Structure formats: C-alpha cells, structure tokens
Structure 1
Amino acid sequence: MPHAPFHHIKYLAAAFILSACSNYEWSVNDNVVYSPAPLFNDFDKRDAALSTCLKDSIKEFEVRKAEELDSLFCPSGKIQHIQALSVFTNIEKLGLANNHISDASPLSELSKLRFVDLRGNSELACETVSTLTQIEQLYLPEHCN
C-alpha cells in the first residue's frame, strides 16, 4: 500500500481544481449540471451614478448576495442619493468623496460601517451625519468641520 497517500492527493487536487471553477457553468453531455448564482442586482437603481458604481463593484468582486459587499469606493462621481446602499448591510468602508450627496442619513442603517469619506460633497446637509455614531473614521466636507 505504498501508493495510498498519493491516492488521497489526487482527490484533493481534483477538489481544489473544481473549487476554482465555481464561477463557471458545468455541463455534461450538453446538460447543465451546475450553474453559479447570478451576481447581485436587487438594489434601488434610481441614482444612475451610484447604480453604475455598485454594478462595477459587484462585478469586480463577484458579489452574489448583498451581504458579501463590505467596502465600496465611488469617488468623483455624480452621486446624489444613497438610499440604495441600505441593502448592503455588511459595508464597513465607504468612500463617496467628491459627489453631490446632500443627505447622509441613509448611512445610519449600515450598522457595520466604520469608515466613511464624504469630503468634497459641498451640498451635504451637515446635520444628516449626526446619527452616524458608530463610525470610527468620518471625513466630512470643509463646511461641516
């Protein structure tokens, strides 16, 4: 039985290779036997700039459930409304510098949020950040300091 350890290595290698293919559809004899879950797409798309940033991040990080997105950076865009972020409950880091955000209150729903950059949002109503008590690093536009 000197070959027994190598026998297990073969199965381990096969499992490793197959797990690397988890994002691909598998077919046998033209029959689909495995299809990965689709990328997450169930969020409010009313703000086109935020929607574009979310779609890009979801694609880049292959997010299949809202909870899988833990950071988002959308600087220098034309984002005005951030209500769509409420479904992404595991976001910890959020970069929204240099946009056109006036109301930051929707961020209070994101309990895991620890870092937020809102610098350069000249239209931000400063009182809307008062509910963001859980945030460890909060960067605000000059008129809010």
Structure 2
Amino acid sequence: MPQSTDARSAHAQAPRTPPPMPVASGGARGLRLASVTSLLALIALSLAWELWLAPLRPGGSWLVLKALLLLLPLRGVLRGNLYTLQWSSMFILLFLAEGVVRGMTDTGVSASLAWIETALSVVFFFSTIFYLRPFKRAAKACAAAAR
C-alpha cells in the first residue's frame, strides 16, 4: 500500500536520536591511564636518555629535542581528547621505529633504553587503540542511524 505524501514527509522529518556514547568503564579508565602513564614515561625516558644516561655525545645531544615532540599530544591525552588520541596513536609509531632501530644497532645502555622506548611505545599504541574502539563503534552506529 503506498503511503501518502503527508505520511512520508512526517516520517522524514522525525528527529533521530543518536546512539549513546560509550560510558567509561573501569577497563576504559585503565586503558586511558596506561596511555597517559606510558606517554609521561616516554617523555622522562627521552630526556634522561639523551641528557644523562647514554647521550650520543658526552654532555648531552640535540636528540633530546625529540622529547619536545612528545609534549605536542600531552595536553590532549591528559584531557582524554578523542581526536588527539587518534593522531597520537599514529604519531607514536615514529618512536616505536626509533626504538627498534636503535635497539638493534646501538650497544650497551643505549640499546637497553631503546628497547624500553619500544615497549613504552607499544603500550601507548595499544592502550590508546583499545580505549578508542568503543567510541569508533558508536560513531559508526550514529552514522548508520543517520542514513
């Protein structure tokens, strides 16, 4: 049975309520805490590594400036900004790559610090990705409901 134009227009104008955003559970809070903690630890490691523990040159090296790069996402990560968490999860892969390369090519303390950098980068990456997963699912469901 065909609908009248009034029924179709009333249906088309009915407001759609988006699906609710996920509520932060204990697991989500733990993942966010792991993201924040690993980022802060990575900043501290970068500073200590290049200034005191095993700098490329005695007295420190300009490579300490990589810690400044880690400060870029810090404010957003501390606040739980979803956009910042998304791009920082890709950004951290630069530090993962550096850790792997230096872990395989450096020797002594520097190689150990590189593997710690690698581990912290992996922790940040996966905790951030798993923290963002419910939000991405909710956004997809909202987009599907809007169609």
TM-score range, shorter chain: under 0.3
Larger relative contact order, structure 1 or 2 (CA cutoff 8 Å, min sep 6):
2
Instruction: Indicate the structure with greater strand content.
Output: 1
